[in-house]
A = this chain, B = another copy of it.
Amino acid sequence: MVKRVSLKDIAKEVGVSSALVSYVLNEKKTGRIDKIVAQTIRDTARRLNYRTNQIARSLKTNRTNTIGFIVADISNPFSSSLARIVEDEAAKNNYTVLFGSSDENALKFQNLVEIFLNRHVDGLMLAPGEHAEAQIRYLQQQEIPFVLIDRYFPDIQTNYVILDNFQAAHTAVSHLVNCGYKKIGMIGYQSSIYTLKERTRGYLSALESLTGVMGNALLREVQIDDVEANINEVIDELLAVDEPVDAILFASNEIALHGLIYLNELKIKVPEQLAIITFDGLASWDLFYAPLTYIRQPLQEMGELATKILLENIENTKQLQQFNLPGSLIVRAST
């Protein structure tokens, strides 16, 4: 690689000290520096195609202008859309984002945190999976700025931005009840992640208060790290019985995707035979003959807000900020 131009190279070329070059290029002490000298320095920097060595700067300033973002699964549109929003928002503030995907694997999550800390990110944005509590506590203890997104731990006081999952599930069930569906099932995740648990809690609570049905006879769960493993099976459990459900709430785009594929196979008619409602919008919902009714998460707002909170925490330690954002019900053809 060609040797890069340093402050010293510019200084030598112009005939001044490198300190002066630094002051000029960083626009410090602007009042005191000779205008002509300053302009010469700027011109020379441009001519030599000078580019700040961020590594050296970071070493001195102890700031990298970098944030680390660990999503649950980068190949899920929920994560990748969020990734883009956060990247754009960070870029506006002169920050670069390092991404990592934990794939719902606690060890991978931990390794990514390690890697990011080694690289001295200024802060972390995290969508933590199961068994990440210790890691989160460690970050707190080290006073490393971070914000949780999409997921959080009720037992740990942290910054977070999440969907109000309880309310969202409640809204979904309430909509199905209003449409006249009587036997409403749900397929959620078999996971201890609190925000996901809130979805099933919202479902159960709504069922009870709106239809008087108690218990979770119609609730089924799939593996979070391998939805396809038992999705068909649980759908069969809800449908291939004497009194099948007449509506299903899917707890995520991923569950809905694989669920619908199986419903296609079964040639179930939506919404005549079975109504469908799901969490998360997806462009491809419109590929299905009955475009899905869904709970829209305010991704843009979540991403912007989480970035804002994180950057504020990096700049100066602030009060805890916790946001439960409302989802919105988008009614379409499947209910």
Contacts and interface: CB of A to CB of B under 8 A. Distances in A.
Contact of A51 (B118, B257, B286): B118
Contacts of A54: 118-120
A190 interface: no
A129 B27 CA distance: 34
Contacts of A77: 75, 77, 80
A284 interface: yes
B142 A119 contact: no
What 3 A-B pairs are tightest by C-beta distance, nearest first?
A284-B284, A287-B287, A261-B286
Nearest to A64: B55
A2 B317 CA distance: 13
A280 interface: no
Interface residues of A, number: 51
A34 B36 CA distance: 59
Interface stretch (A94-102, A176-184, A191-199): A94-102
A270 to B, nearest CB: 11
A37 interface: no
Contact of A74 (B55, B80, B100, B258): B80
Given A52-B118, A118-B51, A287-B287, A98 B96 contact: yes
A98 B101 contact: no
Interface in A116-165: 117-120, 141-145
Interface string A72-105: 0011010111011001000000001111110000
Contacts of A99: 83, 87, 97, 99
Contacts of A96: 98, 115, 119
Give the most central of A51, A83, A96, A288: most B CB within 10 Å: A96
A217 interface: no
Given A114-B51, A287-B260, A101 B75 contact: no
